[in-house]
Amino acid sequence: MPRLLIPILTLLLFPFCAQAQHNTYDFTENDGINSGETTVSGDPLLFLRPLGGDDIYLRLSEFGFSNVSWQYRGLDNSFDKHLFAGLDMDGGLSRTRNYRLYDNLSRMGFFKKTVSDLPGGTDAYTPGFVEQIYGSPFEANYGSARLSLFGYNRNGRIGGRASYNFLNEEWAGGIAGSYRTGRDGSVDGVFNEEVSATIVLGRKIADVHTLTFIGDFSWYERGTRSYTTARVFELSGNKRYNPAWGIQDGKQRNSRVSDHFLPAATLLFEGKAGDDTRIEAAVSVQAGELGYSALIWYDAATPYPDYYRHLPDFIEHDFLRREIYQDWRAGNPSVTQVNWDRLHYVNHMSDEDIAFLLERRVERVTDVRVTTKGRTSFTENWTLGYGFNLSNENTRFFKTAKDLLGGSPFIDIDQYLTDDFSGTQLILNNLREPGRRIGTGDRFGYDYTLNLFSFSGRTALEYDTGRISAIVSAEVGNSALVRTGHYEKTNLPGTLSFGRSPLTSKAVRTLSLSGRYSLSATHIFLVSLHEGTKMPYYGTVFTAPQYSNAMTDAPSVKYYSASASYLLTDAAVRSKISLFYTGTRNETAVYRYYDDLENLFSNMVLKDISKRSYGVELGLTVALWQNLDLNIAVSRTISEYNSNPHAEIYEDATQQLYAASKSHLDGYDTGNTPRWLSAFELRYSRFGWAGSLSYSYSAGRYIAPNPLRRMERIFLRATSPDYFNALTRSEKLPDAQSINATFMRTFYISGNPLTLFISVNNVLGSDNIYNGYEQMRLSRNTSGDSVNYEPFPSKYLYSYGRSYYLSLSYRFR
Amino acid sequence: MKKLIPYIIFSLSLSACGYNDFPPAPDIDPERLYPTMGLSTIREWTIERAVLLPTEGIIAGYVTANDRTGNFFQTLIISDNSCAVEIKAGYSYLHHVYSIGRYVAVKTGGLVAEQYNGMISIGPLVSTEFTQYAGEFEAEMYMDKSVFPADYIREIEPMPLTIAKLDKQLCGMLIKLDDLLWAVDPQTDSDTWADNPSTALGYPAQGNRYFHDPKGDSIMVQTSAYAHFAGYQVPRERVSLTGILMYGRTTARQQGFFIKLRSADDIGLE
């Protein structure tokens, strides 16, 4: 029933137009300060150029759907772009975001815009959305300094932010930085410590050109949390239970800590070549390290407390089961959390060098990116856009021994092949250094470099009469990926693991056609068509990139999309309703898992994956009354597999193929996004005051199906309909809802603004599952003569409970 | 004020709170407990039935077999030279803490000892309506309450024996038999100690290989298919074998002695 309320509410509210003028301004949750983005109520045609404009749906969804996992239009997030002056902001091949860069830039004359249905002539060609940061230090309002202090209970506790701008006729620039620290208020083990600083320096040249340098430095270390099963949440009595941490030395120690240090330097040029041509160019270099720690174990039981064999359900005898159950209910951390003292103890006692180890998986990134773009107007109606992108992304992947936990320096052997049944010989990870012992900080396990070189050129021809515009654009290029193994593994000698792999080179292209028809200044229609190919994700090009040069022969990913939108813009209503359809073909996926049928560590290569997403989305802003707006974002998305991809399963130790067949995924929901997403926001603002109350609701949420369970070699072993359903059903998650509130008040002290911002998310403290996944493991149950395989239970992550954010900002003029 | 901002940022960056900084490994010095009775006493008590062990008693011995190579499963054997006892752990990966030769003391309160086919086993009390028997600890944190390994390891010497001198009183002891030759049965025996699970079709089978000495006496060597050395070739030369002595069913109709090797190192070529 709640699901029906969404379209009903939408239909009721859509025509509602109060006769009030827009004079609102936006503020962002993470900012608390007027961002300076004013909602234009003048000429809508002006506002909506370039095509797409600032997408209402995307703007509302940025925070509106934060309590559930979702992907724009059901597409994989590889289709979403985060660009800064045309440069991809995501660092390294793993595309790690630097969230603080925009935070800092927004204080120095830069702005963010999120758009979709991009036509040609812009920075990116994608059926997903594009988040663009644009601007220049000369667009900062005036020279000023700001200082903000904030407190919160999510990810950390306190922080501060400071910035300083200067501006004169030739030079503009500034420095902005922030610091956050603290432990999470509701999820044990989670902490955050981060420092960021960004320097911007701009120079005007001959009054028409601008040269801007941006130096960015940020570092953070975050304790993360892990998914776990419904049974563990039940046992712990805590929906924010986190199995990743334990007590050491009297304080919480998280085994899964991510760290980020990726300084970047960017040089931007904006200029004119004559009256009709605008040129932009940017060069960016970033280099640093991304890390993630985790526990590993050698011929020992997993130290993570939520493993099924550690739970009371697995204990046979009643008295022991009761005792462990009571420990869970009482929250005894030596049972319910990582027992660090035990790990040290086992390492100390073992006659092996080491049983447990804390490792740090490292990506050492060196990226160079160049982009240029130009626009030349030939006549009043015709414009030519052109440009090229060039990038070389070099990432070295390795891991280091972060903490031996009291163990001794050890010989670097494959941790998995010590206790499987082919493990009659220990497998050295690097036979070129057979006797080397690994001590704290030493590199071990795997060590390889991936180098991705990409270039593309693009052009767009635009025709624009004001009422009608059309753009046809094309981008063509090539991406080449090569792996260089620095370790030679015993079971993969020579070039099977060491040295350069064959080069994977893929042509990439996009063809786009888009058009706009303005029936009047109020009613506008947009269409957009895309067709293209893109480089497959690096992790799918190799069967086991950590230690093997074996390739999957993954082809280029093909995609096509179409969307049609209607925009309504008048004094009281702004809306965009879009129909969309996107398909992908030839996708490849690689899964690394333990195969319970064969008792083998295995790599599954899933080929010829086809998916499609289609649906409708609505973004709507209605001025209900003076200073009071209603914002709505609603979408209905079907995102599903539409093929039965071919699965090949290789034994990890030998890379030998041992099973191949279809995985019957056709018709399964991809699990990328809820079928219904909705957010309703009432927003009040007048000079010096602002506040909002919002409600979000999502439904039709499915967990991504794992392909193993949909293979005949698995589901045909089911001995009853119940077992069959357990293996093949599509798991639906409960609907999720949340109420959020914000309040902002600006005071003036000696003419300078002092702004108080308060937000409370999930006011009701609802327990919403953020996301879940199906485990690849199967349990084997014998009953009489029959053997049944049941899936391990799915794992889930709950979104945050009630959380608050409070900031106080002061600006010095 | 404006001039202070860069200094504020700089000083904040230096004031890390150290949520992920921890001192080196803590000192670990487990207490060594001394026995109040010998293992042979347990053998005497359990000749006829399972017994609940004294609340305040302590027994001790040195680990002679564990699950290191997979031939023993979720169990430990300790010996004090006079007798051997199996500790029914009921969980895996014991070998790190209970390595071969480690001194282990057991507080007997709440534990039951029983004897079957000459082998003495101890474990936590499990009571049913009709009987009580030695259960398994099942979880390390519960075994830790009764079993106390010390930070002391010594070399364990097997007891040299001949097949003719085997006795059920010796079950559980680490013994060494010299001058043995594999009595290969080409009809039933593969040339490895047991099936290798990674290559076997269906359920991998344990291996029973018979060896005889120069006097013509024979003994079975039983090897789990999950032993790391299960796929090793059985030597056809004369060998000495070291292993844990056991007694039980050796064929469908016969009972007899057999030994279980602890690792491939227990096979000595002569």
Please answer yes or no on whether A193 and B99 come within 8 Å at the CB atom. Answer: no
Separation CA A76–CA B149 (nearest Å): 53
| ipTM score over 0.85, yes or no | yes
B201 touches chain A (CB under 8 A): no
B202 touches chain A (CB under 8 A): no
- Min Cα distance B164 → chain A (Å) is 34
Q: What are phi and psi of A753, to 5 degrees?
A: -80, 135
pLDDT exceeds 70 at position A41: no
A273 touches chain B (CB under 8 A): no
Please answer yes or no on whether A253 and B20 come within 8 Å at the CB atom. Answer: yes
- Looking at residue A740, what is its pLDDT? 95
A316 → chain B, closest CA residue: B138
pLDDT exceeds 90 at position B27: no
B116 touches chain A (CB under 8 A): no
Dihedral of CA B137/B141/B145/B149: which sign?
Answer: positive
Could you tell me where the beta strands, DSSP code E, fall in A224-355? Answer: 228-229, 245-248, 251-254, 257-261, 264-272, 277-297
* Nearest Cβ partner for B96 among A162, A346, A403: A346
- Looking at residue A111, what is its pLDDT? 86
A341 → chain B, closest CA residue: B26
A298-332: per-residue pLDDT in tens?
Answer: 999 999 999 999 999 998 888 889 999 999 999 99
**Taking CB atoms and an 8 Å cutoff, what residues of chain A touch B6?**
164, 175
State which amino acid sits at residue A497. S
Q: What's the mean pLDDT in B187-192?
A: 79
pLDDT exceeds 90 at position A24: no
- Looking at residue B7, what is its pLDDT? 55
Q: How confident is the model at residue B221 (pLDDT cuts 50, 70, 90)?
A: very high
pLDDT exceeds 80 at position A506: yes
- Looking at residue A127, what is its pLDDT? 81
User: Are the C-beta atoms of residues A497 and A483 closer than 8 Å to each other?
Assistant: no
Separation CA B63–CA B77 (nearest Å): 6
* Nearest Cβ partner for B8 among A162, A335, A346: A162
Exposure string (b/e) for A774-802, b if CB count within 10 Å is 16 or more? bbbebeeeeeeeeebbebebbbbbbbbbb
- Looking at residue B242, what is its pLDDT? 97
Greater confidence (B199 vs A26) lies with B199
Q: Is cis: bond before A50, omega within 30 of 0?
A: yes
User: Are the C-beta atoms of residues A167 and A139 closer than 8 Å to each other?
Assistant: no
Please answer yes or no on whether A299 and B100 come within 8 Å at the CB atom. Answer: no
pLDDT exceeds 60 at position A564: yes
B23 touches chain A (CB under 8 A): yes
Pairing relationship of beta strands B255-260 and B239-249 according to DSSP bridges: antiparallel
**Taking CB atoms and an 8 Å cutoff, what residues of chain A touch B196?**
421-422
pLDDT exceeds 80 at position A11: no
A582-594: per-residue pLDDT in tens?
Answer: 999 999 999 999 9
**Taking CB atoms and an 8 Å cutoff, what residues of chain A touch B228?**
423-424
- Min Cα distance B138 → chain A (Å) is 7
Please answer yes or no on whether A405 and B25 come within 8 Å at the CB atom. Answer: yes
Separation CA B188–CA A549 (nearest Å): 43
Which among A104, A348, A597, A782 is the top mutation candidate for probing chain B, defined by the most B β-carbons within 10 Å of its own β-carbon? Answer: A348
- Min Cα distance A198 → chain B (Å) is 11
Neighbours of A652 (CB within 10 A): 25
Instruction: Give, as one character, the DSSP assignment of residue A187.
Output: S
Greater confidence (A39 vs B101) lies with B101
User: Are the C-beta atoms of residues A459 and A386 closer than 8 Å to each other?
Assistant: yes
DSSP B195-210: --TTT-SSSPPPEEEE
Instruction: Give, as one character, the DSSP assignment of residue A348.
Output: H
Separation CA A438–CA A589 (nearest Å): 33
A811 → chain B, closest CA residue: B2
Q: Following CA atoms A746, A750, A752, A757 in sequence, which dihedral angle do they give, to the nearest 10 degrees?
A: -30
State which amino acid sits at residue A505. S
Q: What's the mean pLDDT in A695-704?
A: 96
Please answer yes or no on whether A812 and B126 come within 8 Å at the CB atom. Answer: no
Instruction: Give, as one character, the DSSP assignment of residue A177.
Output: E
How far is it between the farthest Cα atoms of chain A? Answer: 88
Please answer yes or no on whether A193 and B232 come within 8 Å at the CB atom. Answer: no
**CA atoms within 13 A of residue A320's CA, in its CB half-sphere:** 26
Separation CA A458–CA B143 (nearest Å): 69
- Min Cα distance A185 → chain B (Å) is 14
Unique residue bearing structure tokens 């919403």? A768
How many A-B residue pairs are in contact by the CB < 8 A criterion? Answer: 140
> How open is the CA angle A262-A268-A274, to the nearest 5 degrees?
165
B153 → chain A, closest CA residue: A351
Q: What's the mean pLDDT in A124-148?
A: 82
A139-169: per-residue pLDDT in tens?
Answer: 876 678 889 999 988 888 899 999 999 988 8
CA nearest neighbour of B152 among B95, B98, B80: B98
pLDDT exceeds 50 at position A424: no
A614-637: per-residue pLDDT in tens?
Answer: 999 999 999 999 899 999 999 999
- Min Cα distance B97 → chain A (Å) is 5
B228 touches chain A (CB under 8 A): yes
Pairing relationship of beta strands B102-107 and B58-65 according to DSSP bridges: antiparallel
Neighbours of A304 (CB within 10 A): 19
Please answer yes or no on whether B139 and A310 come within 8 Å at the CB atom. Answer: yes
B106-125: per-residue pLDDT in tens?
Answer: 999 999 999 999 999 999 99
Which among B8, B20, B95 is the top mutation candidate for probing chain A, defined by the most A β-carbons within 10 Å of its own β-carbon? Answer: B20
CA nearest neighbour of A484 among A437, A542, A428: A542
pLDDT exceeds 50 at position A1: no
* Nearest Cβ partner for B96 among A181, A254, A350: A350
- Looking at residue A745, what is its pLDDT? 96
pLDDT exceeds 60 at position A375: yes
Unique residue bearing structure tokens 């993969």? A492
Provide the chain B residues 56-95 that lie in CB contact (below 8 A) with chain A. 90-93, 95
B20 touches chain A (CB under 8 A): yes
Separation CA A117–CA A462 (nearest Å): 16
Please answer yes or no on whether B5 and A424 come within 8 Å at the CB atom. Answer: no
- Spell out the residues 6+ positions from residue B62 whose beta carbon is closer than 8 angstroms to its own: B78, B79, B80, B101, B102, B103, B104, B154, B156
pLDDT exceeds 80 at position A422: no
Please answer yes or no on whether B136 and A257 come within 8 Å at the CB atom. Answer: no
pLDDT exceeds 90 at position A419: no
Please answer yes or no on whether B16 and A193 come within 8 Å at the CB atom. Answer: yes
Please answer yes or no on whether A181 and B23 come within 8 Å at the CB atom. Answer: no
Provide the chain A residues 608-627 that lie in CB contact (below 8 A) with chain B. none
A164 → chain B, closest CA residue: B2
**Taking CB atoms and an 8 Å cutoff, what residues of chain B touch A346?**
96-97
- Looking at residue A687, what is its pLDDT? 86
CA A717 to chain centre: 37
Neighbours of B97 (CB within 10 A): 27
State which amino acid sits at residue A3. R
Provide the chain A residues 149-188 that lie in CB contact (below 8 A) with chain B. 160, 162-164, 175, 177, 179, 181-183
Separation CA A219–CA B118 (nearest Å): 65
Which among B3, B8, B9, B31 is the top mutation candidate for probing chain A, defined by the most A β-carbons within 10 Å of its own β-carbon? Answer: B9
Prediction pTM value:
0.90
Greater confidence (A256 vs A117) lies with A256
- Min Cα distance B215 → chain A (Å) is 34
Greater confidence (A108 vs B62) lies with B62
A643-697: per-residue pLDDT in tens?
Answer: 999 999 999 888 899 999 999 999 999 999 999 999 999 999 998 899 999 999 9
B125-182: per-residue pLDDT in tens?
Answer: 988 888 889 999 999 988 999 999 999 999 999 999 999 999 999 999 999 999 999 9
Provide the chain B residues 119-148 that lie in CB contact (below 8 A) with chain A. 124, 126, 135-142
- Looking at residue B130, what is its pLDDT? 82
CA A746 to chain centre: 34
* Nearest Cβ partner for B198 among A147, A404, A421: A421
Q: What's the mean pLDDT in A735-762?
A: 94
Provide the chain A residues 516-535 that lie in CB contact (below 8 A) with chain B. none
Please answer yes or no on whether A249 and B22 come within 8 Å at the CB atom. Answer: yes
A210-233: per-residue pLDDT in tens?
Answer: 999 999 999 999 999 999 999 999
Mean pLDDT (chain A) is 88
Q: What's the mean pLDDT in A700-728?
A: 94
A150-164, A165-179, A374-388, A775-789, range with the lowest pLDDT: A775-789
Which among B19, B21, B69 is the top mutation candidate for probing chain A, defined by the most A β-carbons within 10 Å of its own β-carbon? Answer: B19
